Amino acid sequence: MEKGRVLVTGAAGYIGSHTVVELVNAGYEVIGVDNFSNSSPDMLKGVEKITDRKIPFMQLDCSDREQFAKVFEQYPDIAASIHFAAYKAVGESVQQPIKYFENNLRSLLCLTELSVKDGRERGIVFSSSCTVYGEPDPENLPISENAPVKPATSPYGRTKQMCEDILRDCVTAYPSLRVTALRYFNPIGAHPSALIGEMPVGVPQNLVPYITQTAAGIRKELKIFGNDYPTPDGTCIRDYIYVCDLAKAHVAAVDRMLRTDGSDRYAIFNLGTGTGLSVLQLVNHFISATGVSLPYSFAPRRAGDIIKVWADPRKANRILGWKADTPIDDVLRSAWAWEKKVRGIR
Ligand code: UFG
């Protein structure tokens, strides 16, 4: 049974591609858009293989309003959009803030304007981040949606905060609009088919791609940034969430927006497992789950890193009827299977 049409921006990206799979599995019609600035058409091929479906797709830049408008002209029945398309490199955003504000804000403004223009009821699911909480006060852990939003530590983080604020104001101004902001913790892993996964350009900045590339022999060793933090083993703690679990939360968020009576038109959910793991714990899980050796050493702290953060996901568990429950070893095996597939390792 078809449930309605969902526009996915950044459909060829890491989380976007996994979400398209889950939307199709759940019976939604999908229209994907992407400009491939940080993604590859191969990812869409992977999605089509997994779902055994041709996914309608338009290559365009969401910050180009004229191009983007064509999507809504062609598919006026879009019931909801999931907005993944954005730049996401924290370090680069510090070097090139204008690029980040220009792209991330403009594309959201275009999407919102096009969503409300004809007065049809529509929803937007926005990819936000736990980065909006900054360094949480230790007594606030696990961190709930009620925790204060702290001044962002990077322009990337600031675009997430600003986009949330823009959407909140637009929900107030436009009665036809509903919004769900999803604050992701640390998404990792790949689809069990190993047909889609994370594809970092250049040297990976994030932990798990660096681990899998090191295990594959592409990087000499993993550097663990800091082992003198005030945590049990001295390394930073994060809440690592399986990308397929994360993708399913988007489907649950769309279901809810299209189902509910509209009394709660702006909602925020934390998407995490509720459990924090240290860098060292994650590394040890990888080694034991895959049986692969992983050379690593300790290095100085990385500037800007948060010491420890993990989610209180109970609001999403309760209201979305969703839970991230894939065991971490399975998640890490999926990341390794994907890396091996990409590198042609048996
Ligand atoms: N780490 C290493 N070595 C590496 C890479 C990472 O030790 O080579 C450590 C980091 O210092 C950190 C942990 O692994 O302690 C996780 O680092 P990631 O870069 O994987 O993830 P972050 O938590 O730093 O960043 C993620 C997203 C950002 C987002 C942020 C929100 O990548 O987009 O969460 O907190 F802004």
Pairing state between β 266-271 and 222-225: unpaired
1 has a pLDDT exceeding 70: no
* pTM, full prediction: 0.98
322 has a pLDDT exceeding 90: yes
Q: How far is the CA of 75 from the centre of ligand 1 (A)?
A: 38
Q: How far is the CA of 224 from the centre of ligand 1 (A)?
A: 10
Dihedral angle sign, alpha carbons of residues 303, 309, 310, 316: negative
Question: Long-range pairs for 54-61 at CB < 8 Å and ≥24 separation?
Answer: 55/11, 55/20, 55/24, 55/30, 56/29, 56/30, 56/31, 56/32, 57/11, 57/31, 57/32, 57/33, 58/31, 58/32, 58/33, 59/33, 59/34, 59/35, 60/33, 60/35, 61/35, 61/37, 61/107
Per-residue pLDDT at 260: 78
- For ligand 1, atom 19, which residue shows the shortest CA distance? 206
Atom number in ligand 1 closest to CA 156: 36
Residue ranges lining ligand 1, Cβ < 6 Å: 88, 90, 129-131, 157, 186, 205-207, 210, 222-225, 236, 238, 279, 302, 305-306
- For ligand 1, atom 28, which residue shows the shortest CA distance? 90
- For ligand 1, atom 35, which residue shows the shortest CA distance? 131
For residue range 89-146, what is the model confidence (pLDDT) as tens digits?
A: 999 999 999 999 999 999 999 999 999 999 999 999 999 999 999 999 988 899 999 9
157 has a pLDDT exceeding 90: yes
Task: Determine what percent of the chain is predicted with pLDDT higher than 90.
Answer: 95
* Residues taking part in catalysis: 156
- For ligand 1, atom 29, which residue shows the shortest CA distance? 131
Please answer whether residues 92 and 85 qualify as being in contact, where contact means their C-beta atoms are separated by less than 8 angstroms. Answer: no
Atom number in ligand 1 closest to CA 154: 36
3 has a pLDDT exceeding 90: no
Per-residue pLDDT at 2: 65
Q: How far is the CA of 200 from the centre of ligand 1 (A)?
A: 14
User: Mean pLDDT score of the chain, rounded to an integer?
Assistant: 97
For residue range 186-205, what is the model confidence (pLDDT) as tens digits?
A: 999 999 999 999 999 899 99
For residue range 234-275, what is the model confidence (pLDDT) as tens digits?
A: 999 999 999 999 999 999 999 999 997 777 899 999 999 999
Output the six-digit token pair for 129.
């981040």
